[in-house]
Structure 1
C-alpha cells in the first residue's frame, strides 16, 4: 500500500527519535520536524487510525509492524543517500535534506539498482 510522503516522514521520524531517545511523544515529533502541535496531532490521529502507530494512555507512541516496515525502509534509504551525497562532497546538512527528498520519489527498482552498484563499489554495506 502506498502512503503519502508526509506519513512516511512522520513514521521515519518516530523511528529515528525512538533510536535516539527510546520513548517518543508528539512533542518530540514537533521538535524534530519543526511542525505545529496541531499538525502533528492530526497526523498522529491519522497514523493511529490507519494502523501505523499505537499511542498508549500516557501519550507514548510506538510503531506497529506495518508502521515499522515503512519507517525502516525510509530510514535505510535516507542513510544510503546521505552517505552517497557526502561522499560526493556535499555538506552533511545539505546531504540529509536532499536525501529526505530523494528517498520518497525513487521506485523500489531504481533504489535497488543504486544500492547494488554502491555495494559493488564498497560505498555501502
Structure 2
C-alpha cells in the first residue's frame, strides 16, 4: 500500500470524526498540499474504491477505506505513545510515529502491541 494512500485515508478519517462530509480544501490544509494535488489523489482513491463523493463534492470513506484509515491511525497512536513513554519529546514522537506507521508489518505491529500491553499490565518480560 502506498504511503500517500494511507496518509490521505487517515486524514479523511480524522476530519470525518469532526463532521460528516470532508471537502478537498480541508484535506489540502491538513496535509499542507495544493488543492490540485488533492484532486488527483482523490480521483485515484475513488477509482481504487477507498472513497466516494456526493454531488456536493464531499468525500466519504468506504468500508475498505475506513478499515485502512483506522489501522493506520491505530499504528500512529501506538507508536507515538511508545516513543513518549520512552522519553522522546512529543514533537519528535509524532513525526517518527508518522514514519513508523507505514514501515512496520502487521506482524511486527501486533508483536509491539502485545509488548506494550504486557508492560502496562506490570508483567516482567
Q: TM-score, normalised by structure 1?
A: 0.92
Larger of the two Rg values belongs to structure: 2
The residue that corresponds to 1:114 in the other structure is 112
The residue that corresponds to 1:17 in the other structure is 15
**Secondary structure of the structure 1 residue equivalent to 2:7:** helix
Q: Distance in 1 between matches of 2:33 and 2:111?
A: 34
Q: Distance in 1 between matches of 2:95 and 2:17?
A: 20
**In the alignment, which of 6, 9, 13 is matched to residue 8 of structure 1?**
6
CA-atom RMSD in angstroms = 1.2
4+ aligned runs moved over 3 Å, structure 1:
none
> Once the 2 structures are TM-superposed, how far is the Cα of residue 59 of structure 1 from its aligned partner?
1.3
The residue that corresponds to 1:97 in the other structure is 95
**Secondary structure of the structure 1 residue equivalent to 2:60:** strand
Structure 2 unaligned blocks of 5 or more: none
What does 1:1-125 correspond to in 2, within 5 Å?
Answer: 3-122=1-120
Q: Distance in 1 between matches of 2:120 and 2:93?
A: 19
Structure 1 unaligned blocks of 5 or more: none
Q: Distance in 2 between matches of 1:84 and 1:27?
A: 32
> Once the 2 structures are TM-superposed, how far is the Cα of residue 17 of structure 1 from its aligned partner?
1.1
> Once the 2 structures are TM-superposed, how far is the Cα of residue 91 of structure 1 from its aligned partner?
2.0
**Secondary structure of the structure 2 residue equivalent to 1:121:** helix
Q: Distance in 2 between matches of 1:75 and 1:39?
A: 22
**Cα displacement string for residues 17-75 of structure 1 (whole angstroms, at most 9, x for unaligned residues):** 11134431111110100011111110000000110001111111110011011101000
